[in-house]
Amino acid sequence: MKLAELQKKLTTAARLQKPDDRVPYVFEKRIMALIAERAAASGRVLWARGLWRAAVSCVVVAVVCGTVALFTPDARDGGNDLSQDFENTLLASVDQDDSTALP
Amino acid sequence: MERTEAELIKAVLAGDAASFEPLVKKYSPRVFATARRYARRESEIEDIVQEVWLKAFDKLKSFRSEAPFEHWLMRMAVRTCYDFLRGHQRNRISSFSEISEPEDDWLERFVADPGSAPEDADAAKLLIDRVMEKLSPEARLVIQLLEIEDRSVKEIAQLTGWSVPLVKVRAFRARGEMRKILTRITKEKYL
């Protein structure tokens, strides 16, 4: 059998087939609805992405603050605690009375 | 007054998505015709066309108005069809025993006298569709564009994104692949 001839004949048969260009009813509306849906979804995605970024930033700030607080030397160790000074000043007279009341 | 394509594209890029609709309406018949050459089921065809339009909308920024919009869109359509073929090639290799009676008759007539088997017969169309389905995605695309649509190698290179030498190599292999399939049909039936 002549394969080349068969190939040629079948190719011609394919050429003779007119491409069917029918479009389903209101197809363009369907595409536009999908585009609108995707636009709305992408808006939500943008918001979600922004919020996640904000959350990550908050965690980073919290970690930095925690680290700073952890490694900063305690101010009370130096004896300059304001509340202690305040208490001493207020109770100075009481302390004095206590010391003079002793026999 | 009707807006030109360039105006519509400009409006879409400026954020007016509704301006895309006239483009979809105008070019859908061409995209459907292209998709029907590569897929058979109507649901698959609709999926392909839908994907083409969604891609076109997403990538509209990359469209350069120097070339016609139709060319840019058809490139996208052909590449989407090629992706579809690559994704649906599992049922390609099978026996030809399922050839229908009219196809069988047509082949018999061809064997007896090649001139007596008409090219415009429905059986010939069915047979070529069957052969095309057995080809690899690359071969099918090349045969379709080069042999059936009668496009030049340069045009195919532009449509597919392949280089000109690659198109030539794939065309050579595709013809060989087609011959092999035809040999299998004729061997199964007549040897």
Helix (H, G, I), strand (E, B) or coil at B68: coil
Show contacts of A46-49: CB within 8 Å, 24+ apart. Answer: none
Residues of A with CB under 8 A from a CB of B: 1-7, 9-17, 19-24, 27-32, 34-36, 38-39
Mean pLDDT, to the nearest integer, of B124-145? 92
Q: What does pTM read for this prediction? A: 0.74
Among candidates B24, B57, B190 on the partner chain, residue whose Cβ is nearest the Cβ of A28: B24
- How big is the A-B interface in CB pairs under 8 Å? 101
Q: Give the distance from CA B171 to its chain's centroid.
A: 15
Please tell me which residue of chain A has the smallest CA distance to B129.
A14
Q: Quick: pLDDT tens for B57-104.
A: 999 999 987 889 999 999 999 999 999 999 987 655 555 557 788 888
Residue with tokens 């990550």: A56
- Cβ(B111)–Cβ(B127) under 8 Å? no
Contact flag B120-A16 (C-beta cutoff 8 Å) = yes
Please tell me which residue of chain B has the smallest CA distance to A35.
B54
ipTM > 0.85? no
- Cβ(B52)–Cβ(B31) under 8 Å? yes
Residue with tokens 């002549």: A2
Could you tell me the maximum CA-CA distance found in chain B, to the nearest angstrom?
A: 67
| One-letter amino acid for residue B178 of the chain | M
DSSP letter for each residue of B77-116: HHHHHHHHHHHT-TT-S--STT--HHHHHHHHHHHH-GGG
**Is residue A76 predicted with pLDDT exceeding 60?**
no
From CA A58, how far away is CA A64, in angstroms rounded? Answer: 10
Contact flag A13-B54 (C-beta cutoff 8 Å) = no
**Is residue B163 predicted with pLDDT exceeding 60?**
yes
Question: A63 vs A33, A60, B101, B117, CA distance in Å?
Answer: 45, 5, 77, 82
Residue A76 buriedness (CB in 10 A; 0-12 / 13-18 / 19+): exposed
Share of chain A above pLDDT 90, in %: 29
Q: What is the pLDDT of residue B140?
A: 95
Q: What is the pLDDT of residue B132?
A: 92
Helix axes B69-87, B21-36, angle to 10 degrees: 40
Contact flag B175-A1 (C-beta cutoff 8 Å) = no
Please tell me which residue of chain A has the smallest CA distance to B143.
A11
Question: B149 vs A17, A97, B17, B46, B127, CA distance in Å?
Answer: 11, 113, 33, 22, 18
Residues of B with CB under 8 A from a CB of A: 17-18, 20-21, 24-25, 28-30, 32-34, 36-37, 46, 49-50, 53-54, 57, 110-111, 114, 117, 119-121, 124-125, 127-129, 131-132, 143, 147-148, 150, 175, 178-179, 182-183, 186, 190
Task: Work out the pLDDT band at B28, boundaries 50, 70, 90.
Answer: very high
Tokens of A99: 């010391």
Among candidates B54, B119, B143 on the partner chain, residue whose Cβ is nearest the Cβ of A9: B119
Q: Chain A closest CA to B2's CA: distance in Å?
A: 18
Q: Quick: pLDDT tens for A60-72.
A: 999 999 998 888 8
Helix (H, G, I), strand (E, B) or coil at A90: helix
